[in-house]
Structure formats: C-alpha cells, structure tokens
C-alpha cells in the first residue's frame, strides 16, 4: 500500500510539473487538446475523435463564436495523451500524433507510428484587417507544407481536365459549371476541410498550399483515414452521412428545356412505354407557371399556368399510373409580381441583385435566414408538393445566377454577413431548407434533389449535383470525368451531367439529331451516364428523346437502348452500392487511386474509374474511336466485360471500342448481380437474379433490398444477403439473410454464372452453371 501511494504521488508530481511547464509556455491543457497564443493569434486544438482534429485560430484577444453551416458532429469523448518533446508540445490519440511549436504556432501532424502527414506552417497563418461593408473582419490566409511529390485531390468540380490538384490555383467562387469547397485529400490518407464559405482562393506551389478568404477565424479540420475511403468516411462523420435515394432514382431520366404543356411530357412518357424503352423519371423544366412574356415578372411563382397545365394533379397521377416519377424545377429567385417575392421583400429576405432571367427583376432569397427557408417551403409545398404529389425537385441556379454583376452586389447583407462572405454555401443551404422541410411534411417519401451546385455537407440532404450547362463537345465530355472524380472525393457521392451536353446549337445547321458526329457524341455521353449515380438525358437546342435519333434498328437508337438496358440490368449492383454509400460511407465513382494507391500511375489518372468496387469504366471521348487505351491498375487482375478475356493488372491494353460498347473491365474476385429486363425499376421483383462470378481472387458482395422509397430503412427495415467467393476452394457461400421488411422476398432462385477466363465469348455464358433455390438460409455452392 505504501509503495502504491508513493507511485501515485510521483505520478501526480510529474503531471503537475508537466502542467507547470506547459503553463510557463502559455499552453493551457484542455480535456481533448490545448489552447495557446503565438504570433498574435489565439489557437485552439481539439480532438473531435481519434481521427479528426479541429484547429481554430483567431486574432489575439478577439473572441468569436463560430457556428458551422457544414459540420454536424460534436466532439466525442476521446482519450488524448499530453507530452513534451524538447520545446514542442505533443498530443496523441490512438490514430494521430500532433507536435505543436508554441513559439511559432507551427502544427505538425503524424500518424501514430510517426509518419509525417502534414505541416501547418510556422508563421503560416495571416489575419489582415478588412472592412466588410461596415463590419470589421479579416482576410484570412492559412498555409500548409506538403511533400514535393504528394498527390492531392478534391477542391471542387473544375473543368480543366486535370485530376491531381498539385501546382494549381483556383478562385473558389461557386458558379454555373464551377463548384468548389475549401478541401483537399492527400494520397497519404488524410484530408483537410477549411470551414469557410466565402469567395476564396486556393493556391498550391512548391513553397506551400494555401487557402485565403474572408472571415473572423481560420477554422479547419484535419481528418486521418489511412486511405481515401477512410478520409471520405471521416468527412461524412464530420459533415453528415448521405441518405439512401429511392430505387427509382437509379433508373433513366428524360428531360429537355422544356416541355411546354402537361400533355407534352405525358406523351413523351407514353411513347417510351410504347417503344418498350426503360424510363423511370420525367422532369419538368421552367415556365410551367403563368407567363408574363414581356417582363417575366411572375418568374418562379411555384404555381401552374391554367392553359398549359389545366389539371396538374391529374397530370402527375397519370405519370404515376404509367409507373414513372416526376421531378419539377424550382428556382431561388422570384419575379417582382409573385406572392413569394412580396413577402420576402416585406421581411428584408431578398438579396437585391439581378438573377435569372435577364431583365426580369427577379431576385434571389436569403437562404441563410432560417425563417426564409421555411417561407420558401410554405409556398413550394402549398403550390406544388402537397398539391400535385411530385416525387422530387430540380433546383436550378443554386449558386445562384448573377446577372449584370456589380462589385457592390457582393457587399449586400445576408442573415449571416455580406454575400461574399457566405456565397459558396448558398446551394447547400437552399438544399437543406427543402430537404428538411419535406421530411417534416412527408417522411414516407425519400428526398430526391437534382441541384446545380454544391458544398461539403450537402450530401446530407439527398442531393445529386449536376455539372451545369456544359457545351455539347467532345472536349467537354472528356473534362466531365476528372471533374466528377474530384467532386466525389470531397465526400459528396451523387453527381451527374447532361447527357449529350446542354448547349447543342453548334449541331443545328449540320443535320441536328441526324448529324453522325452529334449522334456518336450523344451515345458516348450516354455510355458514360450509365456509370454515373444518376443517368439523365437533358439539353437545349436539340430534342434528346431516343426516337429523335432514328428508329429501332438504326445504330444510334440501338446503341442508346443497349446502354439504357445495361443500366437497368445493373440495378441490383447499383442499389447495393447505394447502400454501401449510405451505410458504410462508400463512393459510387471511385478514381483508381482509391483502390490502387500503391500503383503510382493511378495518382494522376482521372480519365477512368471504378463504378462501385468492381467495374472499371474507361469512357470513350473521341469521335470515330473504335479502339481505346485502357490502363488496368496493378494490384488486381481484370476481365473484359464484353468478351471475358482475362488480363493481368499493371499494363495498358488497347481494347475494342465499337460504337455501341463502352470499355468495361471487371475486377477479378467480383460478384455482380444482374437483374431482370424491365421497363421501370420496380416492375419485377428480384426473385430470379443472375449472379456473375469473376474468378482470380477472393471477393464478396452484399445484395441489399428494402421498401424502395421511404425511410423505414433507417429503422432497420431492410435485408442484406452476403455473397462470398473463395477462389482457392472455388466455392460460393450465400450467407443467412439478415434483416426483414414488409413484402420482402422469402424464397428465390439465383442463377450462378462464372466467367471463363480461358475462353473469349461474345458475352457471358447464356446458360448458368447452377441454379440455386434460396430461402434465406446459408448455402454453399461448389463450382
């Protein structure tokens, strides 16, 4: 007992001495971090978890209570060890070690083994006084040091055809086709989110990486995940998980600018059904509301023109009877004669600058005011959602569009400060208001939002961002791929683009839809769209419905139909991937560096990717290309999807790229379920699925099912069936079904097909090797 007391006394003395030493260096130890002052800055470092650290800096003596728009996580109880090393203070969790220089303010991040990850520079943070429209503020700059050859990703959706963001500079101002967040992810397995919503600048050069923007603090989160999946998991942990979208949201969408009447869009749907080409969603673009053609003063009134949409409730009911869904557009700006605008004006909730359309007097509302979000929903719900029962929203112009720009516009007040100080979060807040209010109004229908901009945190609101009003060119198709991959590496999983490109006027005088080059561009873009989270045809200048390109039997019609049918056959795989995205913080569009970081050739490769964990996609982006180079990354072996030919990884091959085939390679060890041929996503149950196995490595896949379009899955009402392939034993194990939900399939058949890597065929074998009856109990299949 005496020895025990002596040990306790010595430990207490050591702790007291350490605390005294820290205090002498003006370091205050907190429960999960430290506070100190250096270089005229007050700095707080706090562990939010073992893998997330918040670094918060203000000008010395300036107290500012930052309330994040993106971060939803509160600090969790984390055991932090405090130590000192020479003149440095050392903090450790189970995953991260931090060394702090209390004199210079330098902060260095390591993994727990001591591997250097990132340096927050000595003397690297700057606060410069700024008069922000009469409010004292700062231009804030945060600088970091990276390894010379370190690849980084994220920053935003940038149309420059580059993937690795090293040695680049970007003015981060969210606009049509340009979507930014002050975030980067490193190939070393960490990410940084600088929590700032202002119009900002990102710059990386050999001397440093920096963010610079407007604010009262420098506030960033360092997230360590070991690899890209781990970083994305931490981003979602910090800023919100991505909810499940309904099954129908993974079907094919048809849209145009615009369907003028309710009968026009209904007839489009009817013709798809007559042709037996699958379709799940039609979208209604602008000006369904009463029109004032001279002034557009009724812009976005969220009501229906009585002549062109005489019975909108019946219109939507007819769409539903044809087993399809409706998305309808709504904008953030309102014409001066709308009821919404009058109320927003009376409550000083309008941003007084010109938005789309030009010369209309339309103005955007203040999304940063919580009351304004509720008012917006009140009109949207009354005029549309509860009135007609639409299934989702197209939120256009969510940057928002800014017509006749003046510098003074950026100094206009919002509920949270000047417009320039919060602009980049506009889309996220607009999405938030609609998503949260819809769930309050009707929690039995999953929120589906198509939106033109984004910001980290927006994934929480059922949003799918599209790339904006891109031009209908081969160059722009090529740029979509790395732009999408960097966007999804920010932790926002849902992305798509206008199939064929939005502006197609360049093709009008050359035959329009019958122009062979435009037809091929459209087909190649559609093949890319098959392997995006949303597959959506849209554009202006030329109609995009399949029959406008020719009749069945013509190459262009048949190639489109082949692509659409492939999308529907893959729905069990896609929906299982959607569950992985929601449940496990997974990613749909996976740049090769995510799964093959050890292969340095993948670090700069943004022109191909994995869709889910198993399907390598290499979209064709050149006219008349009939062969295509595909890099098969080292660390896996690969099957040509169309022929079953087997290849070792770590090589570039030239593959057949016939006009009706997108180059696809399946990773050895993959298990891919294929669904039935259908005209819409829920036409047939998945009680007779084909299970394709690609030998060469062990693998697994979870078949996920639920009630398709409600939030009961959040209450545990879903099932998973785990398929596990043992390559050495050549056995497939189908595990016990886990979970339950109303209407689930209790008995079913699985047709087991195994890819023959020694025999190239025109397609996978038509006849299954085995047909298995499955009633939810564990089953072994020897192949």
Whichever domain contains 214, its CATH number is: 2.60.40.1760
Residue 216 backbone class (left: φ over 0; alpha: ψ -120 to 50; beta: rest)? alpha
Neighbours of 763 (CB within 10 A): 9
| Residue 591, φ and ψ in degrees, nearest 5 | -55, 150
> Is 442 annotated in the active site?
no
Q: For the residues 632-653, what does the mean pLDDT come to?
A: 97
**For residue 538, is it within any domain?**
no
Q: For the residues 105-131, what does the mean pLDDT come to?
A: 97
Q: Which of the four pLDDT bands, split at 50, 70 and 90, describes residue 768?
A: confident
281-300 pLDDT, tens per residue? Answer: 999 999 999 988 788 999 99
**Structural domain harbouring 64:** 24-145+190-224
Residues 317 and 219 in one domain: no
Out of 473, 504, 535, pick the residue that ends a domain.
504
The token pair at 440 is: 């309050």
Q: What do you get for the CA distance between the two ends of the chain, in Å?
A: 66
For 433, residues 6+ apart whose C-beta sits below 8 A from its C-beta are 367, 372, 373, 374, 376, 377
Residues 632 and 763 in one domain: yes
Residues 207 and 329 in one domain: no
Residues 213 and 298 in one domain: no
Q: How many residues does the chain have?
A: 783
Eight-state DSSP code of residue 658: -
Q: Return d(Cα 265, Cα 276) in angstroms, integer.
A: 17
Name the active-site residue from 42, 212, 366, 399: 399
Sign of CA dihedral 335, 336, 338, 341: positive
Q: Looking at 24-33, 51-60, 66-75, 114-123, which range is the least confident one?
A: 24-33
What is the chain's mean pLDDT, rounded?
95
Q: Return d(Cα 21, Cα 87) in angstroms, integer.
A: 10
Residues 275 and 389 in one domain: yes
* Predicted pLDDT at 2: 43
Neighbours of 686 (CB within 10 A): 17
546-603 pLDDT, tens per residue? Answer: 999 999 999 999 999 999 999 999 999 999 999 999 999 999 999 999 999 999 999 9
The token pair at 257 is: 């600018």
* Predicted pLDDT at 20: 36
**For residue 561, is it within any domain?**
no
Eight-state DSSP code of residue 588: S
Residue 246 Cα distances to 249, 280, 492, angstroms: 6, 11, 17
Whichever domain contains 756, its CATH number is: 2.60.40.1180
For 576, half-sphere exposure in the C-beta direction (CA atoms, 13 angstrom radius) is 23
Q: Return d(Cα 283, Cα 319) in angstroms, integer.
A: 11
Q: Return d(Cα 57, Cα 691) in angstroms, integer.
A: 54
**For residue 175, is it within any domain?**
no
Q: Which of the four pLDDT bands, split at 50, 70 and 90, describes residue 769?
A: confident
**For residue 528, is it within any domain?**
no
Nearest to 477 by CA among 520, 508, 540, 506: 520
Name the active-site residue from 46, 396, 520, 599: 396
Q: Looking at 14-28, 251-265, 365-379, 722-736, which range is the least confident one?
A: 14-28
* Predicted pLDDT at 292: 82
588-598 pLDDT, tens per residue? Answer: 999 999 999 99
> Is 354 annotated in the active site?
no
Please, are residues 472 and 518 in contact by the beta-carbon 8 Å criterion?
yes
Residues 468 and 610 in one domain: no
Name the active-site residue from 469, 683, 735, 756: 469
Please, are residues 721 and 260 in contact by the beta-carbon 8 Å criterion?
no
Q: Which of the four pLDDT bands, split at 50, 70 and 90, describes residue 12?
A: very low
pLDDT > 80? residue 25: no
Q: Edge to edge, what strands does the sheet with 52-59 contain?
A: 27-30, 33-38, 41-47, 52-59, 218-224, 190-194, 179-186, 152-157
Parallel/antiparallel/unpaired status of strands 463-466 and 449-451: parallel
* Predicted pLDDT at 756: 83
| Residue 561, φ and ψ in degrees, nearest 5 | -60, -40
Neighbours of 708 (CB within 10 A): 17
Peptide bond into 357 cis (omega under 30): yes
Residues 297 and 218 in one domain: no
* Predicted pLDDT at 4: 38
**For residue 62, is it within any domain?**
yes
Nearest to 393 by CA among 455, 343, 438: 438
Q: Return d(Cα 637, Cα 694) in angstroms, integer.
A: 10
Residues 252 and 207 in one domain: no
pLDDT > 90? residue 759: no
Residue 71 backbone class (left: φ over 0; alpha: ψ -120 to 50; beta: rest)? beta
Q: Return d(Cα 157, Cα 532) in angstroms, integer.
A: 15
Parallel/antiparallel/unpaired status of strands 325-330 and 281-284: parallel
* Predicted pLDDT at 481: 98
Q: Return d(Cα 395, Cα 44) in angstroms, integer.
A: 38
* Predicted pLDDT at 293: 76
Whichever domain contains 441, its CATH number is: 3.20.20.80
**For residue 162, is it within any domain?**
no
pLDDT > 90? residue 762: no
Q: For the residues 646-675, what does the mean pLDDT come to?
A: 98
Percent of the chain with pLDDT over 90: 94
Angle between the 426-441 and 370-380 helix axes, to the nearest 10 degrees? 60
Residues 414 and 485 in one domain: yes
> Is 604 annotated in the active site?
no
Neighbours of 418 (CB within 10 A): 20
Out of 504, 525, 552, pick the residue that ends a domain.
504
Three-class SS state of 53: strand
| Residue 306, φ and ψ in degrees, nearest 5 | -70, -25
196-205 pLDDT, tens per residue? Answer: 999 999 999 9
pLDDT > 60? residue 6: no
Peptide bond into 400 cis (omega under 30): yes
Peptide bond into 723 cis (omega under 30): no
Residues 500 and 432 in one domain: yes
SS3 content of the chain, % helix, strand, coil (to 5): 25, 30, 45
The token pair at 215 is: 């604010």
Q: What is the DSSP string of 514-551?
A: G-HHHHHHHHHHHHHHHTSSSEEE--BSS--SGGGG--
Buried b / exposed e over 351-375, threshold 16 CB at 10 Å, is bebbbbbeebbbbbbbbbbeebbeb
Parallel/antiparallel/unpaired status of strands 209-215 and 41-47: unpaired
**For residue 582, is it within any domain?**
no
**For residue 529, is it within any domain?**
no
Please, are residues 333 and 363 in contact by the beta-carbon 8 Å criterion?
yes
For 481, half-sphere exposure in the C-beta direction (CA atoms, 13 angstrom radius) is 25
Angle between the 370-380 and 339-346 helix axes, to the nearest 10 degrees? 160
pLDDT > 50? residue 1: no
Three-class SS state of 584: helix
Nearest to 254 by CA among 264, 239, 243: 264
pLDDT > 90? residue 8: no
Q: Give how many domains the chain has, as a whole number.
A: 3
Please, are residues 726 and 780 in contact by the beta-carbon 8 Å criterion?
no
230-284 pLDDT, tens per residue? Answer: 999 999 999 999 999 999 999 999 999 999 999 999 999 999 999 999 999 999 9
Out of 471, 504, 537, pick the residue that ends a domain.
504
pLDDT > 60? residue 5: no
Residues 439 and 356 in one domain: yes
The token pair at 112 is: 């727990």
Please, are residues 189 and 224 in contact by the beta-carbon 8 Å criterion?
yes
Q: What is the DSSP string of 185-247?
A: EETTSEEEEE---SSEEEEE-SS-EEEEEEES-EEEEEEE-SSHHHHHHHHHHHH-PPPPPPG
Eight-state DSSP code of residue 645: -
Q: Which of the four pLDDT bands, split at 50, 70 and 90, describes residue 758?
A: low
Residues 318 and 220 in one domain: no
């Amino acid at each position: 007992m005496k020895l025990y007391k002596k040990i306790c006394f010595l430990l207490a003395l050591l702790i007291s001495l350490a605390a005294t030493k820290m205090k002498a260096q003006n370091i205050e130890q907190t429960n999960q971090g430290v506070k100190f002052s250096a270089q005229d800055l007050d700095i707080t470092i706090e562990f939010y978890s073992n893998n997330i650290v918040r670094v918060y800096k203000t000008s010395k003596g300036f107290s500012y209570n930052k309330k994040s728009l993106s971060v939803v996580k509160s600090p969790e109880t984390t055991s932090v060890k405090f130590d000192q090393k020479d003149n440095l203070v050392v903090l450790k969790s189970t995953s991260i070690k931090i060394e702090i220089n209390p004199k210079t303010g330098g902060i260095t991040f390591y993994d727990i083994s001591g591997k250097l990850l990132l340096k927050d520079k000595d003397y690297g943070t700057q606060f410069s006084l700024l008069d922000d429209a009469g409010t004292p503020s700062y231009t804030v700059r945060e600088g970091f040091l990276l390894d010379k050859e370190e690849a980084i990703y994220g920053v935003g959706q940038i149309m420059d055809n580059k993937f690795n963001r090293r040695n680049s500079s970007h003015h981060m101002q969210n606009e049509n086709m340009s979507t930014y967040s002050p975030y980067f992810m490193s190939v070393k397995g960490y990410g940084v989110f600088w929590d700032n919503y202002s119009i900002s600048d990102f710059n990386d050069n050999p001397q440093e990486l920096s963010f610079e923007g407007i604010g009262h603090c420098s506030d960033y989160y360092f997230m360590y995940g070991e690899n890209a999946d781990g970083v994305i998991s931490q981003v979602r942990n910090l800023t919100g998980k991505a909810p499940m979208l309904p099954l129908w949201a993974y079907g094919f969408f048809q849209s145009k600018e615009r369907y003028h009447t309710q009968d026009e869009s209904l007839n489009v749907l009817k013709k798809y059904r007559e042709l037996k080409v699958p379709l799940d969603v039609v979208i209604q673009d602008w000006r369904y509301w009463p029109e004032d053609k001279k002034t557009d003063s009724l812009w976005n009134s969220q009501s229906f023109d009585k002549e062109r949409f005489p019975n909108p409730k019946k219109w939507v009911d007819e769409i539903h009877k044809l087993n399809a869904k409706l998305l309808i557009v709504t904008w953030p700006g309102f014409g001066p004669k709308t009821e919404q605008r009058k109320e927003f004006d009376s409550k000083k909730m309008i941003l007084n600058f010109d938005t789309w359309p030009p010369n209309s007097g339309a103005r955007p509302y203040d999304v940063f005011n919580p009351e304004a979000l509720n008012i917006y929903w009140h009109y949207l719900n009354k005029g549309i959602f509860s009135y007609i029962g639409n299934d989702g929203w197209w939120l256009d112009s969510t940057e928002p569009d800014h017509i006749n720009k003046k510098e003074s516009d950026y100094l206009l007040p919002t509920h949270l400060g000047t417009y320039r100080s919060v602009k980049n979060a506009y889309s996220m807040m607009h999405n938030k208001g609609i998503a949260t209010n819809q769930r309050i109004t009707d929690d039995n229908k999953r929120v589906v939002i198509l939106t033109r901009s984004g910001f980290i945190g927006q994934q929480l609101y059922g949003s799918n961002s599209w790339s904006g009003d891109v031009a209908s060119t081969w160059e722009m198709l090529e740029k979509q791929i790395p732009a999408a991959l960097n966007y999804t590496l920010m932790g926002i999983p849902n992305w798509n683009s206008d199939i064929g490109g939005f502006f197609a006027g360049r093709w009008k005088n050359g035959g329009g839809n019958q122009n062979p080059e435009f037809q091929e561009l459209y087909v190649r873009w559609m093949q890319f769209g098959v392997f995006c989270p949303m597959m959506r045809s849209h554009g202006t200048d030329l109609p995009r419905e399949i029959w406008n390109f020719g009749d069945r039997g013509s190459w262009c019609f048949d190639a489109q139909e082949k692509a659409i049918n492939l999308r529907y056959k893959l729905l069990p795989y896609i929906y299982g991937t959607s569950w992985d995205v929601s449940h496990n913080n997974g990613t749909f569009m996976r740049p090769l560096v995510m799964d093959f970081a050890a292969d340095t050739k993948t670090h700069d490769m943004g022109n191909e990717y994995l869709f889910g964990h198993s399907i390598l996609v290499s979209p064709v982006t050149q006219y008349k290309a009939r062969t295509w180079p595909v890099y098969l990354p080292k660390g896996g072996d690969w099957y040509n999807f169309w022929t079953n030919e087997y290849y070792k990884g770590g090589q570039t091959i030239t593959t057949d790229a016939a006009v009706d085939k997108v180059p696809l390679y399946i990773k050895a060890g993959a298990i891919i379920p294929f669904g039935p041929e259908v005209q819409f996503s829920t036409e047939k149950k998945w009680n007779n699925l084909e299970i394709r196995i690609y030998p060469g490595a062990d693998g697994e896949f979870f078949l996920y099912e639920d009630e398709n379009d409600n939030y009961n899955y959040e209450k545990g009402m879903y099932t998973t069936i785990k398929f596990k392939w043992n390559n050495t034993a050549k056995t497939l194990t189908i595990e016990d079904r886990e979970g339950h939900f109303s209407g689930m399939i209790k008995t079913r058949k699985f047709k087991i097909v195994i890819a023959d890597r020694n025999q190239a065929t025109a397609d996978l074998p038509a006849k299954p090797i085995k047909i298995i009856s499955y009633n939810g109990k564990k089953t072994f299949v020897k192949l």
